[in-house]
Amino acid sequence: MTTLSTAPTTPPQRANRVRWNIPVRLRKSILVTHVVSAGSWIGIDVISIVLVAIGWVRAGDDRTAAYRALADFFVVPLLLSALVAGTLCLITGLLLGLATKWGLVRFWWVAVKLVLNVIACAMMLAFLGPVTELATGAQPLQDIWFVSFLAATALALLSFATVLSVFKPWGRVRK
């Protein structure tokens, strides 16, 4: 009776696979930072929507006072905070994509989340000028619609990204 001994084989490495091996604690720290920054971003959007809604339900001088307070004390700091949270979310998402089995564009849900994050950050950058004009009084207070548009759109994008993170639909980009 002849026995064949086979040498242990390692699976072939894919040429397109980029994986950054990092210690577990560091990966978990990056993941926590990613989740907290995304949650902060969502919270900032909710606060922005509530503040704009409060201004809308006011009438006359009350509306002007609400929008002035909104512009002076909340909009620019909130938008800058959201931009910091969005950038941090993007950076940690990229690091997680490089360090985990999900990859950056290996799965559709990860690629879509990356695109959504870039779109939301670009929207904030695009609206930073008009919001700053609003805060300085250079723009009429009635034109605050873009603040609510920005916050509502970002909230929708971030909510969709959260759903993608939980359900992980659509499978691999390439088989």
Every domain of the chain and the residues it spans: 24-165
Query: Mean pLDDT in the chain?
Result: 80
Q: Which helix (H) or strand (E) holds 65?
A: helix 60-69
Find out if CATH 1.10.10 is the number for domain 24-165.
no
More confident residue, 98 or 58: 98
- pLDDT at 13 > cutoff 70: no
Average pLDDT over residues 72-82: 76
Query: What is the rounded CA–CA span in Å between residue 87 and residue 89?
Result: 5
Structure tokens at 76: 């620019």
Distance from the Cα of residue 63 to its chain's centroid: 31
Query: What pLDDT does 108 receive?
Result: 94
| Least confident among 2-11, 34-43, 118-127, 156-165 | 2-11
Average pLDDT over residues 48-55: 77
DSSP designation for 74: I
